[in-house]
Amino acid sequence: MPVATAEAPRHETARPPVRIRTLLALGLVFGGGWWTYPRAVAAWQLHTAATTLADYGLCMVGPTGASLLRDNPPEFRRLVRRRLVAAGADERPFERCAKAARELTGSVEVARAHRATAWSFVEYGGAAAEHRGALGVFELDDLHVTTRPVAELAKHAWPFAHGYTKLVKPSLSAYEAVHPVELPRPGVGRGLPAWRARYRTVRRTRDGKLLLAVGRAANLGVYRSRDGGIDWTPAPVRSGGVAEFAGRCSAQGSEHSFSFGLDEDGGRTTVTSFGPDGAPETVDLAPSSQSVFAAACDDKALVVATSPHRSPDVTLLFCPYRDACHLMALPRFRGVGALPRYPLDIARVGGTTILAVTMLGIVRVASTRDDGKSWTPFTVAYDEGAHPGLRARVKVPGRLLAIGKRVLLYGGSPQSSWTYSVLVSDDDGAAWRRP
């Protein structure tokens, strides 16, 4: 008979509500999103920041600003300085760039520095240079905008972005500043003394050489130039014709001349006019306590710069030929009302008075054709920061000398072997060039 067998009941295994592979897939999706999202956001922000960076560069220094800020920060900073020192004292040359600076740096202080006037910067050479670190005084380093924030965004945007350099392109509506004008590179001269004298008179000899008499009497120095005034060498005090013009101020080709003296009590400085049309005539100038540190003349008048003992304050006086002296208004820095202070120098050419004032390695020039009633705005003739490689022992050319219709802006030196910077102007100080 067949043997009966019994089968054990089958038990089915319960399925988990979520499979492991599903969890792994979800983890991969979540992890990918967690890794991708911030990089995608950074890539989006990178494009905006790179465009803002390019707009900022254009706003600061003009057409080359974007590429220079990206590739050559030292040259970009040099152009920023040039634009700053060339601005009017009351101008705010970087104000339109403040918004972009704030977006790039997130700094309120950086934006505030961009809105400041040129006069507020130490590098401008005005009152701020004497109050470095005070509230409301800024320096170029306060305009601290770099490519670092954009580079950091590019780093976080990988692999959606590979660097940022190609993205630095300005927007169509970006403001573009005028490219700062390049200042002329000075020539190098030697031989003229640095010491100041009331008399500096030049004559051209028959053979085309120049003779310069500086000072008078025991303090008389005579110098000769064979190249139009760039290089000078000492000449004998008794050189031919020197006695005819030394010790007086007179323009080349003029029969009129001026000299200084003291009144009977010695308390007042006087000016005496000499000419073929009559006897010498003496007029009062100023108290003898006012030191005469610069004087220049032409055929019609003498202009004198004085200052109190150990004071940088300056007074200009205008003395027409055979007429009383009177105060001559100094030019003011536009918008701030500040007056130029010592050290400065003056020259007189054909009725035009030229004034050069040295401010922290910057030489600014102004001129007047109506004897101080109106002055041209100050313009920069020389900036020491623009020529760091200049091979001259005395770099800043802060002295003026008229040679006929030409005006020299030169450094002067304490030793005849020392070299100094030289610029020349043939248009009464309106423009300067390398000789």
Scan for tokens 């007047």, then name that residue.
368
**Overall residue count recorded for the chain in this entry:** 435
Tokens representing residue 357 in the block: 């004032």
Q: What is the rounded distance in angstroms from the CA atom of residue 398 to the CA atom of residue 194?
A: 10
Q: Where are the domains of the chain?
A: 31-167, 187-425
pLDDT value of position 34: 46
Which residue, 323, 320, 302, 193, is CA-closest to 249?
A: 302
DSSP state of 51: H
Q: What is the rounded distance in angstroms from the CA atom of residue 248 to the CA atom of residue 136?
A: 48
Radius of gyration over every alpha carbon of the chain, rounded to an integer in angstroms: 35
Q: What is the rounded distance in angstroms from the CA atom of residue 374 to the CA atom of residue 329?
A: 8
Q: What is the rounded distance in angstroms from the CA atom of residue 2 to the CA atom of residue 173?
A: 101
pLDDT value of position 24: 62
For 356, how many CA atoms within 13 A lie in the half-sphere containing its CB? 34
Tokens representing residue 205 in the block: 């000899």
- pLDDT tens, per residue, the chain with 435 residues: 555 555 555 555 556 565 666 656 656 655 554 455 566 666 666 788 889 999 999 999 999 999 999 999 999 999 999 999 999 999 999 999 999 999 999 999 999 999 999 999 999 999 999 888 888 999 999 998 998 888 887 787 767 666 778 888 899 889 999 999 899 999 999 999 999 999 999 999 888 899 999 999 889 999 999 999 999 999 998 877 888 899 999 998 899 999 999 999 999 999 999 999 999 999 999 999 999 999 999 999 999 999 998 899 999 999 999 999 999 999 999 999 999 999 999 999 999 999 999 999 999 999 999 999 999 999 999 999 998 888 899 999 999 999 999 999 999 999 888 999 999 999 999 999 999
Neighbours of 404 (CB within 10 A): 16
Class in CATH terms, 187-425:
mainly beta
Which of helix, strand or coil describes residue 48? helix
CA distances to 203, 231, 249, 277 from 234, in Å: 15, 10, 20, 34
Tokens representing residue 215 in the block: 């000072």
For 409, how many CA atoms within 13 A lie in the half-sphere containing its CB? 34
Per-position b or e across 298-324, b if 16+ CB within 10 A of its CB: bbebbbbbbbeeeeeebebbbbebeee
Whether the Cβ atoms of residue 330 and residue 342 lie closer than 8 Å to each other: no
Neighbours of 327 (CB within 10 A): 11
Whether the Cβ atoms of residue 389 and residue 429 lie closer than 8 Å to each other: no
Scan for tokens 């020259």, then name that residue.
347
Which residue, 410, 387, 391, 390, is CA-closest to 400?
A: 410
Q: What is the rounded distance in angstroms from the CA atom of residue 166 to the CA atom of residue 43?
A: 13
Q: What is the rounded distance in angstroms from the CA atom of residue 356 to the CA atom of residue 278?
A: 34
Q: What is the rounded distance in angstroms from the CA atom of residue 110 to the CA atom of residue 427?
A: 41
Q: What is the rounded distance in angstroms from the CA atom of residue 91 to the CA atom of residue 336?
A: 10
